[in-house]
């Protein structure tokens, strides 16, 4: 989780490392309420819970792509 970042953002560093499909974005679990209308799934990585969301929903909500690896 990126504690210093207080806006909807991806963790593209983790996505790249884990070879995510291009249609899925990894976001902090604290943003789960933004995505109740779409299919999501939880994921643990290094003891932190993240949320996998469809990239189109992420963009629609104004998400920013960041190369975070934590």
Q: What is the pLDDT of residues 29-58, one digit of tens each?
A: 999 999 999 999 999 999 999 999 999 999
C-alpha–C-alpha distance, residues 19 and 8, integer Å: 21
Spans of all domains in the chain = 12-60
Contact between 25 and 58 (Cβ < 8 Å): yes
pLDDT in tens, 1-15: 566 788 999 999 999
pTM: 0.87
pLDDT at 27: 95
pLDDT at 38: 93
């Amino acid at each position: 989780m990126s504690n210093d970042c207080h806006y909807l953002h991806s963790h593209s560093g983790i996505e790249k490392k884990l070879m995510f499909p291009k249609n899925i974005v990894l976001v902090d679990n604290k943003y789960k309420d933004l995505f109740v209308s779409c299919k999501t799934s939880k994921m643990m990585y290094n003891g932190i819970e993240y949320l996998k969301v469809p990239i189109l929903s992420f963009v629609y909500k104004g998400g920013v792509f960041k190369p975070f690896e934590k």
